[in-house]
Amino acid sequence: MKDAKVIELEEVAIRFSGDSGDGMQLTGTLFSDASALYGNDISTFPDYPSEIRAPQGTVGGVSGFQVQFGRRQINTPGDYAHVLVAMNPAAVKANAKFMNPGGTIIFDVDSFNEKNLAKANFKTDDPFGECHLDDYEKIPVPITSLTRESLKDYGLDNKSVLRSKNMFALGLVCWMFGRPLDYIENYLRKKFAKKPLVVETNLKVLHAGYNYGMNMQHMTPQYIVHPAAIEKGLYRNINGNQATAWGFLAAAEKAGLELFLGSYPITPATDILSALSERKDLGVKTFQAEDEIAGICTAIGAAFAGDLAITTTSGPGFALKSEALGLSVMAELPLVVVNVQRGGPSTGLPTKTEQSDLMQTLYGRNGESPVVVIAASTPSDCFYYAFLSAKIALERMVPVVLLTDGFLGNGSEPWRVPGMDELPEITPRIAKNKDSFKAYARDPKTLSREWAIPGMAGFQHRIGGLEKNVEGSVSHDPENHQINTEYRADKVEKVVDMLPQLEVCGDTSGDLLVVSWGGTYGHTLSAVREMHHEGKNVSLAHFNFIKPLPKNTKEVFSQFKKIVVCELNMGQFAGYLRDKVPGFTYHQVNKVKGLPFTVLELKENFNKLLED
């Protein structure tokens, strides 16, 4: 037997892929968590099919999970996979274009039969040739038959046996990349504590896959990816939806308020509702409403009653919430709306990522209805921007919309858990002096009104969707409406005093400034850094604050010869900048494929602009 081939890498991307029932999301998540605990920096990209249950074995039913991990800072899940784990022929066809040249394909040879090749619409019995993968290293592994062999003495039916084959693939890949099995074993024991047979069978198959790698070292290379040098602290692997939920928990504690979430389930935002529903121990109240309108209306009621009020949704649900969001603008109540964006319009691409709700967020309500708009940029910083959204809403008595997206919400990365003493204080604007109280009297500096909560004696006032005067009485006076409309707009703009200046990654002047916002951060940052190392004069200005824009935006833009705006839509932020920061030529790089940018395509576009 030959010695095992050992390859040392700085970073590597693995893509797990198979039918939506093959457990690829769990497999990828467990491998990612094990890598994070090992000490690697990671970034993940779960890729779900849009149909709940597409026909088995078809390309439309393929579910994927890509993770990039390494010994240095990882900002993206990787443009292309170094290793593909394919559970069937459809997984090969769906992912051929996402493979790194010369990569490795581990495939379940048992599933590459005539029936499954036909389901994946292959014309020949050579799927790798048809997908132009002849030059890739291919490792055929009889995953299905070896799983059956491992469990032959357990008396399980065929369906139950096949549920465990993802554990075989996981065990094999853990051996290949030197991942310890301790975390995975503990997870399975805890997850299926009430089903000891499920625990035993999954552990049996997991170790069978690991041992297969050890026994077949001549055909399965082993990779070494050393731990990353990171700041000391308590870390956990976290996805964007969970980080968002925890950011609100921290904000409620800092503000001394109870947290209320009124929402309706919608992909890909539902996990925020699920995460908060588990925290009754922290006084969280969650309400799963009958529809999107009821979800936001209950949150507005909770805001009126003195809670930190949240509602979560995605694009179609955000459209339904628009009228009630206008009510919170008129009533000037603190409310945070989270929009985890997905591909549209309508149902569109519900499991794919996009940034196409920006214009809807900025302008999609009747009347002059301004709200603060913030966008998170990585899975872990969803925590910080959820916390900041709540702080702004509570201290400035204004609705805030937090934009994340499917890539951030489902993707994960290591996160250093902060202490509560590291987070800024939150001081809600609760009314204190009943002798001078007027419902719509404003702080001269912030233009914010006071928050008078039902039950506070002496602070009775009218509230609702009709325009009010300063006393809180309904008013149809045209001058009063003009003044209040200007006040509500100026109040949002004055939030800029709470925001940091726009920072530039790279030189503060030069040939090309890349502008991005929200979840495109990791890819634009990686592209700019690579070009900077190549000697190109390219810098990055990434926006987390959309309305209002940072004070120094125009100053930053004026230092560069060319500006290019990169976003996963047809140019919504570029159009917004043309309106709010005129005087510059804004070039665009746009993509609406339900996928994040790749670093390669960004660099190609940036180089063209530098050459023109």
Q: What percentage of the chain has pLDDT greater than the value 70?
A: 98
How far out from the chain centre does Cα 275 lie?
Answer: 15
pLDDT at 328 over 60: yes
The residue ranking higher by pLDDT, 276 or 55, is 276
Residue 66 β-bridge partners = 15, 45
- As given in the structure block, the two tokens for residue 208 are 């069978």
Helix (H) or strand (E) holding 81: strand 81-86
Is the pLDDT reported for residue 2 higher than 60? no
Distance CA 51, CA 60 (A): 8
Whether 6-224 shares its CATH topology with 236-422 is answered no
Residue 580 CA to residue 572 CA, distance in Å, equals 12
The 10s digit of each residue's pLDDT in 332-381 is: 999 999 999 999 999 999 999 999 999 999 999 999 999 999 999 999 99
Two tokens, residue 493: 């703009």
Distance CA 87, CA 111 (A): 7
- Tell me what the pLDDT averaged over the chain comes to: 94
- In the chain, what are the helix, strand and coil shares in percent, each to the nearest 5? 40, 20, 40
When pLDDT is averaged across residues 72-99 and rounded to a whole number, the result is 94
Q: Are 592 and 354 in contact, with CB atoms under 8 Å apart?
A: yes
**Confidence tier at 224 by pLDDT (50, 70, 90):** confident
CA distances from residue 491 to 55, 486, 498, 531 in whole angstroms, order as listed: 52, 8, 12, 40
Choose between 459 and 55: higher pLDDT: 459
Q: What mean pLDDT do residues 283-293 have?
A: 97
- CATH 3.40.920.10 for domain 6-224, yes or no, is yes
**d(C-alpha 286, C-alpha 299), whole Å:** 10
DSSP tag of 359:
H
pLDDT tens-digit map of 305-315: 999 999 999 99
How is 387-400 classified by DSSP, letter by letter? HHHHHHHHHHT-EE
DSSP annotation of 195 reads -
pLDDT tens, position by position, 401-434: 999 999 999 999 999 999 999 999 999 999 999 9
pLDDT of residue 5: 64
**Average of per-residue pLDDT across 59-67:** 93
Rounded average pLDDT over 225-237: 85
Report whether 374 contacts 328 (CB < 8 A): no
**Contact between residue 300 and residue 335 where contact means Cβ atoms under 8 Å apart:** yes
Give the burial class of 164: count Cβ atoms within 10 A of its Cβ; 0-12 exposed, 13-18 middle, 19 or more buried. buried
CATH code 3.10.20.30 for 236-422: no
Residue 418, C-beta contacts closer than 8 angstroms, at least 6 positions apart: none
Classify domain 504-611 at the CATH topology level.
Rossmann fold (3.40.50)
Position 497 pLDDT exceeds 70:
yes
Q: Read off the pLDDT of residues 559-576 as tens digits, 9 standing for 90 and up.
A: 999 999 999 999 999 999
Q: Please give the pLDDT value at position 1.
A: 38
Alpha carbon distance 316, 248 (integer Å): 23
Q: Please name the residues in contact with 582: beta carbons below 8 A apart, sequence gap of 6 or more.
A: none
Pairing outcome for strands 412-416 and 6-8:
unpaired
Residue reference for tokens 């784990």: 85
Structure tokens at 571: 């140019």
With 80 as the cut, is the pLDDT of residue 58 above it? yes
Q: Determine how many CB atoms are found less than 10 A away from the CB of residue 255.
A: 22
Gap between the terminal Cα atoms of the chain: 57
Task: For residues 297 and 241, give the distance between their C-alpha atoms in angstroms, rounded to a whole number.
Answer: 22
- 218 pLDDT tier (thresholds 50, 70, 90): low
21-25, 147-151, 490-494 — which is least confidently predicted? 21-25
Contact 475, 439 (CB under 8 A): no
Q: What is the pLDDT of residue 232?
A: 82
**How many CB atoms are closer than 10 A to CB 158?**
8
H helix or E strand, kind and range, residue 408: helix 406-410
Type of residue at 260: F
Q: Which amino acid is at 65?
A: F
Q: In which band, very low, low, confident or very high, does the pLDDT at 98 lie, cut at 50, 70 and 90?
A: very high
- More reliable by pLDDT, 564 or 101: 564
User: Distance between CA 341 and CA 318 in Å, rounded?
Assistant: 9
Average pLDDT of the segment spanning 183-200 = 95
- Residue 219 confidence class, pLDDT cut points 50, 70, 90: low
Domain residue spans of the chain: 6-224, 236-422, 504-611
**Where is 530: in which H helix or E strand?**
helix 521-533
